[in-house]
Amino acid sequence: MNPCEEALRLIEQEVLGIRARLDAQLPYALQMPMVPAANVSDEAMSAIERHMQAGRQQLRKRIAQFLRQLRGLAATPANVARAQRRYALLKLYFQAALTHFEIFAEVLTQRSQHGTGIWLAGLDVAAQDGLRQPGVPVAPPPVICYVERGHGGAIRRARTRLPGGGDNPVAVIRMPRERMVGTGIAASLYHEVGHQASALLDLANTYKRASPSRFVRGPSIWRAWDRWIGEIVADLWAVSRVGIAASVGLMSVVSLPRAFVMRINLDDPHPAPWIRVKLSVAMGRALYPHAQWSALEAVWERLYPRMQMSAAQRASFDALSRAIPRFVAVLLSLRPPALRGRTIGAALSLPDRHPDALLARWQRVKARPQQLLADTPALAFAVLGQARYSGHLPAQTELKVIAELLQRWALAGYLPWSAGSAQLSVVLNQRRPPAMPPHAGSLHANPFAAYA
């Protein structure tokens, strides 16, 4: 056989193989083995399936067009080279389609794991609730969560470009397994949610447009805020949703060897951990004024005292610390168009998240928190986090309550009852309140009480 004819025949067979592989790719709904309550929301699944179907259709059209052109080519060396170039591009499109499939398959496959799938479905509901901003007519995208080993969380935001092209149809939040403990879940979850919220409301870009560093050749401090603003705004969102639970959770995440905590790197979008915790505390103090923020800040400075810093580090961190109040004031005074004339501070300060309001609510719900807090996921995490910090909720009880809340949120999306309904308590055998050790209300239950 003529070598050119053989080359064209082999290319055709390879493309037919790609088409057969593409045709064998079934919808996720026909492959995922999870129990119904562990599934992602109908909205999220529909968005993913529509995205994948559109990608497959586009690739089929490319394949059909390629085969028509290939079969009309004369068997010449020039045509073989041209066909090979087009085939190489077609393979890249196919690899992109497989990449998109694997991104979502990895997330969905975890839903079949006993226990984990239900928790993830509950986290989907909690994340969706954390995206809602009262008075803002911005439709939040569907959110799905998965877990992975590692230290920190991450988000692949909705409407951002996927590898190989195309926009992501849903927000995909990666939760580190080590954070799946107590209200530490909330700190990581709502930080990642904050990245999506910032994109929807244009918070970080609003700051960059108004930043003093654009108008003055001022101190390098303001350039540091500009570099870190994306992460700072996500931390702000977390504090606005769950109060001090966000700052305490952040402290846990960045409790690393001293060299890492005190290292300033402007090539990293994350603030240096030592100053990042102080920023979180300052934003909490501005949104929800209370003495607890100063107490928590004192704890942090005891854990990583300035005496352990080098002279250069101390000078840098002192300058940053002095600039925090003005920076936070500037940030909270901005008025993004999406907030319809309100400042960021006014919009994100939720009256029911003030420490006194959270503790008062805890007193009302502590007999059955898993039922009485179930209809408001973000508020539930805020109440539990505040109760734990204030010494009213021991860690082992907190984890049990959160596990039951996650079950409720997952099941409420499948059964015809709200998450806080009495019927769901019967179904889940959650009619009895969690056992509270006799010392739960004492100062000894608060791990930070000694530093207050």
pLDDT in tens, 317-355: 999 999 999 999 999 999 999 998 999 999 999 999 999
The pLDDT value recorded for residue 440 is: 43
Q: Is residue 221 part of a domain?
A: yes
Instruction: Please choose, from the candidates 126, 120, 18, the residue with its C-alpha nearest in 3D space to the C-alpha of residue 66.
Output: 18
Q: How many domains does the chain have?
A: 3
Q: Is residue 175 part of a domain?
A: no
The answer to whether 229 and 212 are in contact (CB under 8 A) is no
DSSP state of 444: G
**Inter-CA distances, 87 with 8, 11, 23, 24, 90, Å:** 10, 7, 18, 20, 5
Name the average pLDDT for the chain. Answer: 87
Please say which residue of 349, 382, 410 terminates a domain.
349
Q: What is the DSSP code string of 283-350?
A: HHHHHS--HHHHHHHHHHHHHS-GGGS-HHHHHHHHHHHHHHHHHHHHHHH---GGGTT--HHHHH--
The pLDDT value recorded for residue 217 is: 46
- Please compute Rg for the chain using Cα positions: 26
Q: How many CB atoms lie within 10 A of CB 112?
A: 13
Statement to judge: residues 373 and 331 lie in one domain = no
pLDDT in tens, 131-142: 998 878 778 999
How many angstroms from the chain centroid is the CA of residue 55? 26
Lookup result for tokens 């904050």: 194
Q: Is residue 149 part of a domain?
A: no
Statement to judge: residues 255 and 323 lie in one domain = yes
The answer to whether 175 and 145 are in contact (CB under 8 A) is yes
Statement to judge: residues 378 and 318 lie in one domain = no
Q: Name the residue range of residue 333's domain.
A: 202-349
Write the burial class of residue 267 (CB in 10 Å: 0-12 exposed, 13-18 middle, 19+ buried): exposed
Statement to judge: residues 309 and 421 lie in one domain = no
pTM for the whole thing?
0.85
Cα–Cα dist 107/101, whole Å: 10
Statement to judge: residues 344 and 356 lie in one domain = no
Please say which residue of 315, 349, 383 terminates a domain.
349
Q: Is residue 127 part of a domain?
A: no
pLDDT in tens, 249-287: 999 999 999 999 999 998 999 999 999 999 999 999 999
The pLDDT value recorded for residue 155 is: 93
Sheet of strand 171-176, all strands in order from the earlier edge strand to the far edge: 143-148, 171-176, 154-156
Query: What do you get for the CA distance between the two ends of the chain, in Å?
Result: 86
Q: Is 90 exceeded by the pLDDT of residue 153?
A: no
